[in-house]
Amino acid sequence: MRSKGKIERFNRTLEDELLRGLPRWTGGPRDVRGELAHEAALTLEYFSIVFADYIERYNEHRPHEGLGGRVPLEVWRGDSTPVERIPAERARWMLKARETKVVNR
C-alpha cells in the first residue's frame, strides 16, 4: 500500500496536535493508581465541533512541508483533474460490509 505511510503520518500529527490536548486522552496524566486523571469527558457533539475546527485549520491554514509550504486547499484548487461524481447508489454500495461479523463484549 503506497499511501499507508501518509495515513500513519496524518494519524500521528492528529494525535500530537489535537488529541493529546483533549480531556480523557488515553495517554494523558494518570493518578498514583495508574488511572486517568478525572476530567469531564467531551460530548460527541462538542468533539465534532473541535475536530471540524482542527480539520479546517489543517487543510486551509496550516502550511505543509511536503506540499512546498502550501496548504492542502491551495493544492486541491490548483489540480485540474476533474472530480468524478458518482451516483448515490454506487456510493452506498462502496460502504456496504462485505462480510458479517459478530461483535461480542
Per-residue exposure over 2-26, b if at least 16 CB sit within 10 Å of its own CB, e if not? eeeeeeeeeeeeeeeebbeeeeeee
pLDDT tens-digit map of 71-105:
999 999 999 998 888 898 888 887 776 777 777 76
Query: Any residues with CB less than 8 A from the CB of 61 and at least 6 apart, and which?
Result: 71
Q: pLDDT category, 68, cuts 50, 70, 90? A: very high
pLDDT tens-digit map of 16-59:
999 988 887 888 778 888 887 777 778 999 999 999 999 999 99
pTM of the complete model beyond 0.85: no
Looking at residue 54, its amino acid is Y
